[in-house]
C-alpha cells in the first residue's frame, strides 16, 4: 500500500521500490540476452536446451527461453510493485524460485536434456545470490509490519 504525502501524492514503500528495481533489472537482462555483442556467441542462441552456446556478458549461458523468462519475471516485478503486498510476494516467492533453480542447477548435469533452461556454473552462483537477496529484501523491508499495513 502506498502512503500519501502532505501534497496528496502517493509514495511507494521501500519494498515496492525494491520490487521495481529488481523487476527493471530482470527486464534489462532479458533484453540484453537478445543483443549480439553483449551476448557472446549470439549465433549459437537456441530456443531452449543445453546446446545453446550463447553467453550473456560472456559468462551466463542463455537461450531464447531463458531470456523470455527474465522478461516475464521483470514484468511481474513491476506489476506486483503496485502494492506493498504484491511487491513482498514477488521478492519472497521469486527468491524462493531462484533458490530452487540454484539447487536444480547443482543437481542436473549441464550436458543433460534436463538442463533445458540452460544453466552453467556462473548461472548457479547468480541464482543463489538472487534468491538470497530477494528473500532478504522481502523480509527486511517488511519486518514488523502487519498484514493490514502491507
Beta carbons within 8 Å of 107's beta carbon, 6+ residues apart: none
pLDDT confidence of residue 150? 41
Give how far Cα 80 sits from Cα of 16, 20, 31, 123, Å: 8, 8, 20, 25
Residue 47: which residues within 8 A CB-CB, separation 6 or more? 63, 64, 65
- pLDDT per residue over 22-73, tens digit each? 999 999 999 999 999 999 999 999 998 778 889 999 999 999 999 999 999 9
For the chain, the structural domain boundaries read: 12-140
- DSSP type of residue 58: T
> Sorting pLDDT into bands at 50, 70 and 90, what band is 146?
low
Amino acid at each position: 500500500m502506498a502512503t500519501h504525502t502532505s501534497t496528496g501524492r502517493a509514495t511507494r514503500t521501500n519494498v515496492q521500490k525494491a520490487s521495481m528495481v529488481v523487476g527493471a533489472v530482470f527486464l534489462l537482462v532479458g533484453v540484453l540476452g537478445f543483443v549480439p555483442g553483449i551476448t557472446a556467441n549470439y549465433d549459437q542462441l537456441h530456443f531452449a536446451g543445453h546446446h545453446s552456446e550463447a553467453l550473456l556478458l560472456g559468462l551466463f549461458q542463455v537461450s531464447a527461453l531463458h531470456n523470455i523468462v527474465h522478461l516475464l519475471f521483470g514484468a511481474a516485478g513491476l506489476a506486483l510493485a503496485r502494492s506493498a503486498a504484491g511487491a513482498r510476494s514477488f521478492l519472497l516467492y521469486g527468491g524462493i524460485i531462484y533458490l530452487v533453480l540454484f539447487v536444480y542447477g547443482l543437481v542436473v548435469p549441464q550436458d543433460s536434456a534436463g538442463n533445458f533452461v540452460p544453466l552453467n556454473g556462473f548461472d548457479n552462483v547468480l541464482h543463489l545470490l538472487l534468491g538470497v537477496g530477494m528473500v532478504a529484501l522481502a523480509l527486511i523491508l517488511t519486518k514488523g509490519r502487519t498484514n493490514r499495513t502491507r
